[in-house]
């Protein structure tokens, strides 16, 4: 039995076996399934062996009328399930305006959580997961994309972007121009037969895709935070470099900045090490 109100239901991002029992129940019991593309969702339901219920197409930006119709059904106590073509609705997919309208009108909203390329990519990236920033799709035009990356890459968190495989090479090249040694991770075709991932500096990845050409399929691009540059140097090695700089008359501030840039070690790490050096 599905309760009245809107249910935001996640569906697989490639592998149908990732559908959850609760998602099946939500799709089976809903009075109405709102989706991006009724044919696409109809096909998924028949592949899952589910009898398609009433499907209606919904898009945030073009479906003001469809939204009002859905809201009217919801206000009449109907159970509506929202799905997108793949993954979690609202995450670079339609649904935000519908949920907002439900909240404003006191209509219950709940979710059946599940797959999303965002978290699937992050957890296998090897990049810090304690703090991350989801940037959605980067702008289409080269100038706007560079400007956006310039800003994103100053944020102290792992940056996650959805990207089309076709534009991947250009995007990685832009990242490499801004910070060649910045670690990046790329996940392609997650949960599908040809799943693949790369983990290297932006410069190496840019070179790889320049030579190999654009891959096919769906990709997620992740950029390490500024402080997570790859460095194999131990604390002792960095301390040695700091002491050497100081002995050459370099100021403490300049030494921290220079050694952080030269070695790729995070500025705060180098600064903390500098604090342990007694120059009195
Ligand atoms: N709502 C979806 C979610 O929760 O992941 C995302 C929809 S967005 C329109 C589509 C983008 O998600 C793709 O361009 C790609 O960046 C990413 N994506 C979706 N499925 C993927 C997969 N299986 N592997 C890698 N990236 C994927």
Listed as own residue / partner, the contacts of 249-254 with beta carbons closer than 8 Å and 24 or more positions apart are 252/279
Residue 36 to residue 52: CA distance in whole angstroms: 15
Continuous segment of H or E residues that includes residue 199: strand 196-201
Helix ranges, 164-234 (H)? 168-178, 202-212
pLDDT of 238 reads 87
Is the pLDDT reported for residue 229 higher than 60? no
Angle (deg, nearest 10), helices 168-178 and 202-212: 150
Q: Answer with the residue of higher pLDDT: 58 or 228.
A: 58
Q: Give distance in angstroms: CA of 103 to centre of ligand 1.
A: 26
Residue nearest to atom 13 of ligand 1 (CA): 218
Task: Work out the pLDDT band at 197, boundaries 50, 70, 90.
Answer: very high
Which of 125, 162, 164, 167 for mutating ligand 1's site (highest number of atoms within 8 Å of CB)? 162
Report the nearest atom of ligand 1 relative to the CA of 10: 4
Residue 122 to residue 126: CA distance in whole angstroms: 8
For ligand 1, residues with CB inside 6 Å are: 13-14, 84, 86-88, 91-93, 116-118, 162-164, 187-192, 218-220
pLDDT of 132 reads 98
Q: Give distance in angstroms: CA of 255 to centre of ligand 1.
A: 43
Task: Give the Å distances, CA to CA, from 8 to 31, 96, 204, 238.
Answer: 14, 10, 40, 50
Task: Work out the pLDDT band at 232, boundaries 50, 70, 90.
Answer: low
Report the nearest atom of ligand 1 relative to the CA of 189: 24
Is the pLDDT reported for residue 33 higher than 90? yes
Provide the mean pLDDT of the chain: 93
Report the nearest atom of ligand 1 relative to the CA of 195: 24
Please tell me whether the overall predicted TM-score, pTM, comes out greater than 0.85 for this model.
no
> Tokens representing 258?
């220079």
- The CB density around residue 181, as the number of other CB atoms within 10 Å, is 16
Report the nearest atom of ligand 1 relative to the CA of 91: 1
Residue 176 to residue 185: CA distance in whole angstroms: 13
Residue nearest to atom 16 of ligand 1 (CA): 162
Q: Give distance in angstroms: CA of 278 to centre of ligand 1.
A: 52
Residue 223 to residue 159: CA distance in whole angstroms: 5
């Amino acid at each position: 039995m599905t309760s009245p109100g809107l249910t935001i239901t996640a569906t697989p991002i490639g592998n149908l076996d990732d559908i959850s029992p609760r998602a099946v129940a939500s799709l089976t019991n809903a009075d109405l399934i709102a989706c991006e593309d009724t044919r696409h969702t109809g096909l998924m339901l028949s592949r899952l062996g589910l009898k398609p219920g009433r499907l209606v197409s919904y898009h945030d930006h073009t479906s003001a009328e469809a939204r009002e119709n859905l809201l009217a059904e919801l206000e009449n106590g109907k159970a509506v399930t929202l799905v997108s073509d793949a993954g979690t609705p609202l995450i670079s997919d339609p649904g935000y305006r519908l949920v907002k309208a439900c909240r404003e009108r006191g209509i219950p909203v709940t979710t059946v959580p599940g797959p999303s390329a965002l978290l699937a990519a992050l957890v296998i990236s090897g990049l810090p997961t304690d703090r991350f920033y989801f940037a959605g799709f980067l702008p289409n035009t080269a100038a706007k994309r560079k400007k956006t990356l310039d800003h994103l890459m100053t944020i102290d968190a792992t940056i996650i972007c959805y990207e089309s495989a076709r534009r991947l090479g250009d995007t990685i090249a832009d990242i490499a121009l801004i910070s060649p040694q910045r670690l990046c991770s790329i996940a392609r075709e997650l949960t599908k037969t040809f799943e693949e991932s790369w983990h290297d500096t932006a410069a190496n990845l840019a070179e790889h895709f320049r030579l190999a050409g654009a891959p096919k399929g769906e990709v997620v691009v992740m950029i390490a935070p500024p402080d997570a540059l790859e460095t194999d140097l131990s604390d002792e090695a960095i301390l040695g470099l700091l002491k050497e700089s100081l002995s050459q008359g370099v100021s403490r501030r300049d030494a921290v900045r220079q050694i952080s840039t030269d070695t790729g070690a995070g500025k705060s790490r180098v600064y903390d090490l500098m604090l342990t050096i007694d120059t009195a």
